[in-house]
Structure 1
Amino acid sequence: MFVYMVIAFSYLNQGVERSPTAISRLDLMHAIVSERRINIDSYHHNTGDKAYHGGHYYSDKAPGTVALALPAFYFGSLMLKAVDIPLDSDFGWLISSWVACAGSLAIVTALGAVAMFAWLKKRVPPQTALLITAGFFLGAAPLPYATMMFSHSLAVGCIAIALWALDRQTGRCEGAGVGLAKIKGWVRHHRYELLGGFVLGWALASEYTAGLIVVGMIAVLLWGQWWRLWPVGLGALPPLLLIPAYSWACLGTPFALPYSYQASFPVMKEGLYAIKWPDAETGFNLLFSAARGLFFWSPFLLLSLVGCFRLFRQDLREMLLYYFLPVLQVVVISGRVWDWPAGPTLGPRYLAPMLPLLALPCAYGLLRFPKLGTVLVVYSIALTVLATATDACPANKINNPLTHLHIPLFLKGQFSYSIGEHVLGLPPYVSFAVYAAFLAGGLWWLWRRLGREGEASPHAEGVKE
């Protein structure tokens, strides 16, 4: 599954022309590699997502995504140098961005898909786990966001890994020994907590809107096992230190964020970085509108509403984790009224961090309505693939990108950058057909392979529960 997902996330790329959020991070990487500096003075005209302080411009984004992607970006710059192509040329921008996305976001997001599948397999039949995992990673935010330098696919992947790592019972470490042997025993005993803390820390260091989900997950998953908090906190510390380190480098203080010095959008300085009181109309738009609605673009997520009824019959911990936290995320993000579409993007990107928490309710919903649920999953994947393969950066002014952008682009044969068309030289429709066939064929192969395992699974009985 890992290789399948990496290819799925790497085959397409949105380029660098349309997304100021992605360009802001690319500006920073270009400045670091080309000029050995952290300000983006030479590139700031590319994007409005920038901070201004002390006579210099800086990327205002959380630093984790750039820190993760920088090695792959640097490798891409060496590839370009080897063939004598300037990094700052149009082609250099495209290739370095593509390599950076494939060498960082695609890998972590694919690991998140593997982790979600492994975690769901403990609760539901393997084929159900596969369908839900495919829905979340190919029929929702991770696919389009992994094809450009966004942080949200990274956050989803990290949170999915953390859910797999931390959703378990771990006793206190009572190991004997002294010195180094005792430390090794403690690390071995708390390896899942250290991993879970590390990926949650990296999610927060990459996407600040993941903070509510990160803190909520730690509180609920460690409920009654507070001795696990220390290794989780220790694991989270290294990536979290990226935040004050970047602020110090840019602003001269670790106690402020570049968002406080936003150069293009003064409203970002109001409220909690433009988030104010919850707004019902904005909440509705985030969930149901054709422009950015979560359930419009990924309708299989409606299965989570069915699955929540099953959660009501289980313990309070699971209700808090899989129902209350996502609802709270929607309520809080609805307070960002001034720019609720969040720029040129597909779907409600600030809701992306909550997606892994909906996986189990969706799986329960699929078990309750297997035929309808399967249709919704397949439709969501088809819709997201179509949008990502044409243009995953619809402008705010487009009220219905599906009918006013994606379908017209498809009919004209105008697609996003792809390996098939722009590397192998295939005709546009052939390149798209190859990608679609790979996704469908790979999913079918995995489904058939898991069939026998599902027949022997202890979850196979009572599927219609």
Structure 2
Amino acid sequence: MAPSETSLNGWSGFKSFLLVALILILAAPFFTKFENANSVSRLALVSSMIEEGTTKVDPYGHMTVDIAFHEGHYYSDKAPGMAFLSVPAYLLARAAGQAVGADLEVLPQEPSAQNGKDAALRKAAIRLMILTTSGLLTALAGLAFFKLALRMTQDTRLALLATLTPFVASPLLGWSANFFGHAATAATLFLAFYFCQKINADEKSPFLNALWAGGMLGGSVMLEYTAAPAVLIVALYGLYKASRMGGNGFAKGLGAAVIGCALPIIPVLIYHDISFGSPFSVGYSSVVGFEGMNEGFLGLTSPSVSVLYEITFGQRRGLFWISPIFILLPLGLYWAAKQRSWRSETVTSTVIVVYYLLFNASYFYWDGGASLGPRHITPALPFAGLLLVFMWMNARGLLNTLALGLLAISSFLNIAATATTLTPYRLENDYQFPIWDPVLTSVFSGNTGFTIYQNFGLPAFGVAVVWMLCCLAIVHFLWRKPH
């Protein structure tokens, strides 16, 4: 007997809560390497703003190569969004440290603070900053994805499989556990898309949805400047949805969206003016030591076919090695093209995926430095996953078995990467096949993010077992059908 619409809605609400918990728990316990240049650049800005009341990061200029130099001072070359969003968690961690007599420094100057319990406390503070930014935003985007997939499929299991595809079986999971902007940008961009989709579908609060959509679009640019073209694509989709509300409704919705967008953008413009002398000057225009940024427009030239191959099939950075489930994307596109009722969503998602592929293939530093997979296309992964919803809806027999197998393999690989490192790096030369070495070799040798718990007197194996049991329990309840 099929479940009633009421029971389906109630069950989906329960599953939504469990899904958010699963995404958070999967990534929450892993203390990844925070010493990479990208994270240090952002942490330096947080520390300088709170401890010194300035956007200058002069004391940390020697600690990272991701740095800008303007009028005799060092600045972070990154968009300031991650630093802005992590301030509350930083203040909370600092207050907690002072309460127990610890002088917390997220970027200590003394080498003696790099190891031992002080280092563990420092990493715990940074982990809290990540959990409340990238982690929480990614989980909320997973919730939005599940709700939209449920609306498309009318099947909780299909919606779950579709949601696991980008949020567990892709590098999006691992980046949600790192102090980079990729996962947070992916989340805000998809949340903007979700609220745009509801402008017409949810007649109870179209203007509130427009306000949230605008806020998420502005937040995407605040987090990563390279999201601007994708923001424009989602904005055009939102305008299309709002145009169906009528003239007066369209004007009000547009006004709400503009107000929402301005809220995160205005602080960014002020930051630019204070740091670089103009609201429209960004850190990348004053970057130090990366001559390739002078190529074309801030390192962007024309797409390279060879780079496009490397970020998809290449062993060093190829997406299909770490997330083989995306090999089925052409099938998703094929079935998506046949769905007239979801055509605008299909077109929007496809254009965003194409944009990020072309952007990555056009970028001088396309490999992303120390990176597992093509990190620059991370914000496109939820949209690629949305196209795969149509594959899950139509997969039967052998194809369904293949898809489930690829999903299982992809999930294992990305959980393993999250537990070890998304930023593999060694001085002598690059890893040629990083999904094997260092990721899987580290997992098989027991060298994972659980080992840091030994500094707190907890057994690494015991923490791992508790984590695994929690995840399995949540997956069990998520897979159950409504009655």
TM-score range, shorter chain: 0.7 to 0.9
Cα-to-partner distance string for 1:198-247 (whole Å, 9 max, x where unaligned)? 11211121012222221111113422634243322221111122322111
CA distance in 2, matches of 1:61, 1:291: 25
Query: What SS does the aligned partner of 1:62 have?
Result: coil
1:94 aligns with 2:126: no
1:317 aligns with 2:344: yes
Cα-to-partner distance string for 1:102-138 (whole Å, 9 max, x where unaligned)? 2222111111111111111100111111122122112
Give the direction of change, closer, same or farther, for the CA distance of 1:83–1:60 in structure 2 (3 Å limit): same
CA distance in 1, matches of 2:291, 2:272: 19
Percent pairwise identity: 25
The structure 1 residue matched to 2:387, chosen from 361, 380, 385, is 361
CA distance in 1, matches of 2:470, 2:206: 40
Cα-to-partner distance string for 1:150-196 (whole Å, 9 max, x where unaligned)? 111111221222222111353999xxxxxxxxxxx9xx540001111
Residue of structure 1 equivalent to 2:186: 156
Give the direction of change, closer, same or farther, for the CA distance of 1:7–1:420 in structure 2 (3 Å limit): farther
1:252 Cα shift? 1.6
Residue of structure 2 equivalent to 1:122: 151
The structure 2 residue matched to 1:349, chosen from 375, 380, 386, is 375
Cα-to-partner distance string for 1:234-273 (whole Å, 9 max, x where unaligned)? 2111112232211111112112111000012122233222
The one-letter code sitting in structure 2 at the alignment partner of 1:358 is: A
The structure 2 residue matched to 1:301, chosen from 326, 335, 347, is 326
Query: What SS does the aligned partner of 1:73 have?
Result: helix
Query: What SS does the aligned partner of 2:240 have?
Result: coil
1:2 aligns with 2:31: no
CA distance in 2, matches of 1:80, 1:198: 33
Give the direction of change, closer, same or farther, for the CA distance of 1:148–1:224 in structure 2 (3 Å limit): closer
1:319 Cα shift? 4.0
Cα-to-partner distance string for 1:343-386 (whole Å, 9 max, x where unaligned)? 21222111011112122221111233332222211211100011
CA distance in 1, matches of 2:146, 2:95: 36
The structure 1 residue matched to 2:58, chosen from 31, 35, 41, is 41
The one-letter code sitting in structure 2 at the alignment partner of 1:139 is: A
CA distance in 2, matches of 1:344, 1:49: 13
Give the direction of change, closer, same or farther, for the CA distance of 1:393–1:433 in structure 2 (3 Å limit): farther
State the superposition RMSD in angstroms.
Answer: 2.3
Cα-to-partner distance string for 1:381-439 (whole Å, 9 max, x where unaligned)? 10001111122211381121122211221232211256755546123x44334433433
Number of equivalences:
435
Give the direction of change, closer, same or farther, for the CA distance of 1:435–1:172 in structure 2 (3 Å limit): closer
Contact 1:24/1:47 (8 A) holds in 2: yes
Contact 1:390/1:416 (8 A) holds in 2: yes
The structure 1 residue matched to 2:446, chosen from 387, 406, 413, is 413
Moved over 4 A (4+): 417-424
Residue of structure 1 equivalent to 2:476: 444
CA distance in 1, matches of 2:293, 2:325: 33
Give the direction of change, closer, same or farther, for the CA distance of 1:264–1:437 in structure 2 (3 Å limit): farther
Give the direction of change, closer, same or farther, for the CA distance of 1:366–1:171 in structure 2 (3 Å limit): closer
Query: What SS does the aligned partner of 2:62 have?
Result: helix
The structure 1 residue matched to 2:436, chosen from 397, 403, 407, is 403
TM-score norm. by structure 1 comes to 0.88
CA distance in 1, matches of 2:456, 2:310: 38
Residue of structure 2 equivalent to 1:110: 139
Cα-to-partner distance string for 1:58-107 (whole Å, 9 max, x where unaligned)? 00111111111111011111112222222234325323211211222211
Residue of structure 1 equivalent to 2:230: 213
The one-letter code sitting in structure 2 at the alignment partner of 1:147 is: A
Residue of structure 1 equivalent to 2:289: 264
Query: What SS does the aligned partner of 1:51 have?
Result: strand
Query: What SS does the aligned partner of 2:365 have?
Result: coil
CA distance in 2, matches of 1:189, 1:367: 29
TM-score norm. by structure 2 comes to 0.84
Residue of structure 2 equivalent to 1:141: 171
Contact 1:39/1:56 (8 A) holds in 2: yes
**What 5-or-longer segments of structure 1 have no aligned partner?**
174-184, 454-465
CA distance in 2, matches of 1:172, 1:229: 16
Residue of structure 1 equivalent to 2:265: 240
CA distance in 2, matches of 1:153, 1:443: 22
Cα-to-partner distance string for 1:279-308 (whole Å, 9 max, x where unaligned)? 001111111222221222111122322111
Contact 2:346/2:387 (8 A) holds in 1: no
Contact 2:322/2:413 (8 A) holds in 1: yes
The structure 1 residue matched to 2:464, chosen from 428, 432, 456, is 432
Query: What SS does the aligned partner of 1:167 have?
Result: helix
Contact 1:420/1:434 (8 A) holds in 2: no
Contact 1:11/1:419 (8 A) holds in 2: no
CA distance in 2, matches of 1:229, 1:407: 49
1:24 Cα shift? 0.6
The one-letter code sitting in structure 1 at the alignment partner of 2:328 is: L
Query: What SS does the aligned partner of 2:200 have?
Result: coil
Query: What SS does the aligned partner of 2:415 have?
Result: helix
